[in-house]
């Protein structure tokens, strides 16, 4: 396990939206619209990940091998 500190650039730690027409609907962590640290759509089927993202330290790697991806499994704790 690794911890990535905040960059101090913004406070965009979590994003959750449904039924919006002007923004992505789903769950996002870090970054900002269209440049998420990681984002999963409301159907939990597709997502995107970009690194580094503005919210976390630049040492944070991209959490997927591709910018866009299909979700294979979801684990909730």
Backbone angles phi, psi at 12, to 5 degrees: -85, 60
For residue 55, give every residue at least 6 positions away whose Cβ sits within 8 Å of its Cβ, in sequence order, or none: 6, 7, 9, 10, 11, 12, 13, 30, 31, 37
pTM > 0.85: yes or no:
no
**4-48 per-position pLDDT tens digit:** 888 888 888 888 888 888 778 899 888 887 788 889 999 999 999
């Amino acid at each position: 396990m690794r911890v990535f500190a905040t960059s101090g650039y913004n406070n965009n730690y979590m994003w959750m939206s449904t039924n919006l027409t002007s923004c992505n609907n789903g769950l996002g962590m870090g970054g900002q619209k269209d440049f998420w640290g990681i984002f999963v759509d409301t159907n939990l089927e597709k997502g995107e990940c970009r690194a580094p993202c503005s919210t976390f330290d630049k040492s944070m790697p991209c959490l997927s091998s591709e910018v866009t991806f299909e979700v294979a499994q979801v684990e909730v704790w």
